[in-house]
Amino acid sequence: MFIRRGYALLAQEDPLLHRALVAEHQRQDGTLMMVASSSIVDPSVLACMSSVAMNVTAEGYPGARYHAGCGEIDPIEQYAIDRAMAVFGARYVNVQAHSATTANYAVMSALLNPGDVILGMKLDQGGHLTHGFPAAYSGTYFQAINYGLDNNRRIDYKQARELALEHRPKLIVCGATAYPRTVDFARFREIADEAGALLLADISHIAGLVATGLHPSPVDHAHITTTCTHKQLGGPRGALIMSGRDAGTPFGEDGRTLAQRLRSAIFPYFQGAPILPVIAAKARMLSLVQTEEYRAAARRIVDNAALLASELAGLGYQVITGGTDNHIVLLDFIGQPISGLVAERALEDVGIVVNKNHIPGDPRPSTVTSGVRIGTNSVAQRGFGPSEIRQCAQLIDSVLRAVRPLGERDYELEDFTRQAVRADVRKLASQFPIPRYVPVDRRQPSE
Ligand SMILES: *Cc1c(COP(=O)(O)O)cnc(C)c1O
């Protein structure tokens, strides 16, 4: 209703912007999105975001409608909270964070004092900017130290423990952004307990697998769990802050519990007013996550990634850790003429979208890299199974074998390969349209 009317007005009054949105839909429909952080947002989630809930502001509604620990909670927000609790088994949930970046910094601002030490995973070994990347903190707020990977490119728990016991961080952050293996949250909790630290688990990348039991849950191991809602969960851009068993644990001098401290972390102090339509969209997404269709898609995500890893390894590619437990397949081009950037650009040229990725021991700068990160979320949601994934591996191989790097950024790809792979990509994409979307007009957007 809102969307149909809105699009009609947009087409009439702002054809330039309308055409750009239609072209974006056509692009998504006709390409294979294999970026690890991608997923497909259900039209009913899109509808929540485009709803009258946008007219509600923190100041514009009578009473304390938002969850700031001081009054009633909006019913829409309460649905999101209840569903997040059901999906993740959490005892405390805050659904207001605009992004996982904001969520992580809000948690830190609620629990730490300036100058406190944080122990997080190295950025260039799979960690995230917000997990204690020293330059991001620049010594202003917190001091960051980092653990990394061992020689097998698995999380080095021994190093994490040694650093924790030596530096006594107030907070340990676990969870990664480019790590293809299971994270042992129980082990991180042991380390945190031994060092007297709090544990924050950021499951932004694997939240859909955690929600469906395909990856162990950190919610009762970590003191706080954060996740963005727009990666594997297929929700709106935003995040959740959760606490499990430790929600009622008193923390700090005044004896307030973790949940009480987190309650005012986001609103009003750290981030400002929540966005009600986005909270509605989170509530809708959290209902979809509980369906059998979502569970089946999550299983396909994992199965597809494992098969893609073994197919690519069979074709001679260096797959980091030799395989994957989640949705991520990392390829290693160290010592080869092809850079991650050239691989990304050449694949995008034929309609396969992946991203370059800095990998451990990478001699190339982070703008170029020697790796690519491939993810199976979106193609699994479109319904890809084993035979389509085998075909994806063949298509990726055709391009990477044919591409001739010209330095670190440019390349040549013979026209025959480009046209042939493009045609196969378009065919695959058209056989698996984006589920539940109105079919796209496949004519070129120029008309
Ligand atoms: C993507 C990601 C984030 C950042 O998410 P935003 O919502 O875009 O800020 C945070 N943590 C991890 C581990 C991520 O992968």
Q: Does the pLDDT of residue 57 top 90, yes or no? A: no
Q: Is 239 in the pocket of ligand 1 (CB under 6 A)?
A: yes
The helix-helix angle for 386-402 and 340-349 (nearest 10°) equals: 120
Q: Ligand 1: which of 98, 101, 129 to mutate, judged by most atoms within 8 Å of the beta carbon?
A: 101
Based on the domain organization, do 162 and 250 belong to the same domain?
A: yes
Query: In this predicted structure, what is the pLDDT of residue 22?
Result: 93
Is 38 inside a domain boundary? no
Identify the sign of the CA torsion 433, 32, 399, 403. positive
Based on the domain organization, do 221 and 362 belong to the same domain?
A: no
Is 443 inside a domain boundary? no
Query: Per residue in 212-231, pLDDT tens?
Result: 999 999 999 999 999 999 99
The stretch 29-47 carries a mean pLDDT of 96
pTM for the full predicted model: 0.95
Query: Per residue in 411-434, pLDDT tens?
Result: 999 999 999 999 999 999 999 999
Is 52 inside a domain boundary? yes
Q: Is 36 in the pocket of ligand 1 (CB under 6 A)?
A: no
Based on the domain organization, do 199 and 312 belong to the same domain?
A: no
Query: In this predicted structure, what is the pLDDT of residue 71?
Result: 55
Is 17 inside a domain boundary? no
What's the one-letter identity of residue 19? Answer: R
Which atom of ligand 1 is nearest to 231's Cα? 1
Based on the domain organization, do 388 and 424 belong to the same domain?
A: yes
The binding site for (6S)-5,6,7,8-tetrahydrofolate consists of: 123, 127-129, 253
pLDDT interval class at 63 (50, 70, 90): very low
Q: Is 100 in the pocket of ligand 1 (CB under 6 A)?
A: yes
Is 62 inside a domain boundary? yes
Question: 307: CA distance to ligand 1 center in Å?
Answer: 26
The stretch 218-245 carries a mean pLDDT of 98
Q: Does the pLDDT of residue 288 top 90, yes or no? A: yes
Based on the domain organization, do 266 and 336 belong to the same domain?
A: no
Q: What is the 3-state secondary structure (H, E, C) of 275-342?
A: CHHHHHHHHHHHHHCCCHHHHHHHHHHHHHHHHHHHHHHHCCCCEHHHCCCCCEEEEECCCCCCCHHH
Based on the domain organization, do 96 and 209 belong to the same domain?
A: yes
Domains identified in the chain, total number: 2
pLDDT interval class at 66 (50, 70, 90): low
Is 446 inside a domain boundary? no
Query: Per residue in 22-35, pLDDT tens?
Result: 999 999 999 999 99
Q: Is 182 in the pocket of ligand 1 (CB under 6 A)?
A: no
Q: What CATH number does the domain containing 209 carry?
A: 3.40.640.10
- Mean model confidence pLDDT for the chain: 92
Ligand 1 atom 15, closest CA: 177
Q: Does the pLDDT of residue 67 top 70, yes or no? A: no
Query: Per residue in 143-201, pLDDT tens?
Result: 999 999 999 999 999 999 999 999 999 999 999 999 999 999 999 999 999 999 999 99
Q: What CATH number does the domain containing 316 carry?
A: 3.90.1150.10
Based on the domain organization, do 342 and 359 belong to the same domain?
A: yes
Based on the domain organization, do 308 and 330 belong to the same domain?
A: yes
Is 343 inside a domain boundary? yes
Domain that holds residue 118: 46-289
Q: Is 136 in the pocket of ligand 1 (CB under 6 A)?
A: no
Based on the domain organization, do 270 and 330 belong to the same domain?
A: no
Is 27 inside a domain boundary? no
Which atom of ligand 1 is nearest to 205's Cα? 15
Based on the domain organization, do 300 and 257 belong to the same domain?
A: no
Domain boundary among 289, 319, 347: 289
The binding site consists of: 123, 127-129, 253
